[in-house]
Structure 1
Amino acid sequence: MNVLVVLAVILFLLMILIGGKKGARSFLSLLLNFGVIFLTIFFMTNPHFNPIIFTFIACLLISSISLFYINEVNSKTITAFISTMITIAILLLFIVIVTEKLMIQGFGEEEVDELSVFSLYIGVDFVKIGASVIIMSTIGAITDVAISIASSMQEIFHHNPAISRRTLFTSGLSVGIDILGTDTNTLFFAFFGGYLGLLIWFKDLSYSIGEIINSKVFTTEMITIFCAGIGIALIIPITSCIHSYYLVNTRKRNQEIIK
């Protein structure tokens, strides 16, 4: 516990030193998002509540904290928030279908022995829980890409106010394409870093490549990565389209007011 406190203090001091007030808000946002996730888990395990609905509400709150609390309310954060919610709504529908069709919900055979002493009749829908886990794993990356694209487009528009909507949209896509490769690789290596012990266990169990690929634990995590990648790919054109539309329309309204 003391180590956790020391590391938290070091992180807090570094974030203040580098980011100032925004760094302090960023640290507090971590605590707020942790509280949101904790409450979401509490409600998701209640059989009387729909996990998908609470996941969407949690994503709404997490996006609001990450965007509005840290970066304040402005055109960039509003655009990023709207784009994130649209992408999450599309992903939720897609992921629920994928989870149900591929039957990746529940526990793999590698986990059954450890859980055999517990009752699995807990009265919750594991399909919805599985979909919720995937969505919660992608919200951070999606929000990050949305605000990055919106900020870049805002800067481009600031230095070239006469830019056309099509050119601005294309510029947003170009920025997004550069982010797409790095973010998907980040998700991929985060999986292998977090599940390195599992992969070593597969080796000790003498699993073949085919058995590893077809194991539920491995497949679930890979599907999470792919769904996160799909979310990142979707958010790029959505944010570029919405923000280019907003910026150009704002310019037209200002010109009409001047006239």
Structure 2
Amino acid sequence: MNALVLLAAILLLLMMLIGGKKGVRSFLALFLNFSVVFITVIFMNDPNRNPVVLTLLAALVISCINLFYINKINIKTKTAFVSTILSLLFLLFFILIMTDTAAIHGFSDEEIQELSMFSLYIGVDFARVAASVIIMTTIGAITDTSIAISSPMKEICDQNPHMNRKDLFLSGMSIGRDILGTSTNTLFFAFFGGYLAMLIWFKDLPYSAGEFINSKVFSAEMITILSAGIGVTIVIPITSWITSYYLVRRKTR
């Protein structure tokens, strides 16, 4: 516990020195987001509640915290919020289809050995829980990308007041292409960093390359990463178009 408190204090101090008031709000947003996720998990224990609906509501609240609480309400956060919601709704159908088709829900054979002493009849739809996990993983990446595009587009528009909608849209796309590579690689390495022990364990198991790739644990994580990558990709043109539309419209008024 002392190490956690020390690391949190160091993080808070650095965010205060570098980010000022916005850094403090960003630090507090971490705990607010954790509270939202924790409350969502508690509500998921009720079999009468749909985990996907609960996760979408949580994603809505998390988006508000990450955009409006940290960066306040302005044209940048408004366009980023609309872009995030549209991208998430577009991605939702893909996520639901993938979780049902790929059958990644539930526990894998490797996990069953450790959970054999517990009862698995808990009355929760694991297919919907799997979709909820992917949605929760995706929302952070989408929100981060949308604000990373809308914010510089606002600055570009302020510095070039005579720029038309098409040129502003192309500027947003150019910014998005620079972000795309780093964002997808961040998701990829976050998986390997979090599941390094699992990969080492799989190496010691008598699995062929095909069995390793098609294992439920590995497939579920790769589908999560790919879904988040798709979300990051589609939010780029959506954010660029919405932001350019509203900025030029506001300028003409």
- If the TM-score is normalised by the length of the shorter chain, which range does it land in? over 0.9
| 1:77 matched to 2:77 | yes
- Percent of aligned pairs with the same amino acid: 63
Deviation of the 1:193 alpha carbon: 0.7
Distance 2:100 2:38 in 1: 25
Question: Across the two proteins, how many residue pairs are aligned to each other?
Answer: 253
Q: Deviations over 1:84-139 (max 9, x none)?
A: 01111111221011101111111111101011111111111111100000010111
Aligned partner letter, 1:196: L
Q: Which residue of 1 aligns with 2:193?
A: 193
- Measure, in 1, the Cα distance between the counterparts of 2:127 and 2:224: 14
- Aligned partner of 2:179 in structure 1 is 179
Say whether 1:238 aligns with 2:238.
yes
Runs of 4+ in 1 over 3 A off after TM superposition: none
Kindly report which structure 2 residues correspond to 1:244-259, keeping only aligned pairs within 5 A, or say none: 244-253=244-253
Tell me which residue corresponds to 1:41: 41
TM, length-normalised to structure 1: 0.96
User: What letter is aligned with 2:187?
Assistant: L
Deviation at 1:25, TM superposition (A): 0.5
Structure 2 CA distance for aligned equivalents of residues 215 and 98 of structure 1: 15
Structure 1 equivalent of residue 155 of structure 2: 155
Runs of 5+ consecutive residues of structure 1 not aligned to the other structure: 254-259
2:90 maps to amino acid: I
Deviation at 1:208, TM superposition (A): 2.1
Aligned residue type for 1:110: E
TM-score, normalising length: structure 2: 0.98
Equivalence for 1:106: 106
Q: How big is the shift at 1:45?
A: 2.1
Question: Secondary structure of 1:73's match?
Answer: coil
Residue identity matched to 2:134: I
> What is the match of residue 117 of structure 2?
117
Gaps (5+ residues) in structure 2?
A: none
Partner of 2:169: 169
User: For residues 10 and 41 of structure 1, what CA distance do their matches in structure 2 show?
Assistant: 29
> Match for 1:57: what amino acid?
L
Query: Quick one: distance in 2 between partners of 1:46 and 1:89?
Result: 24
The answer as to 2:216 corresponding to 1:216 is: yes
CA RMSD of aligned residues (A): 0.8
Where 2:106 maps in the other structure, the secondary structure is: coil
Whole-angstrom distance in 1 between the partners of 2:92 and 2:126? 15
Q: Tell me, in whole angstroms, the C-alpha distance in 1 between the residues paired with 2:14 and 2:249.
A: 40
Spell out, residue by residue over 1:124-171, the C-alpha distance to the aligned partner (whole angstroms, 9 max, x if none): 111110000001011111101000100111111111111111111111
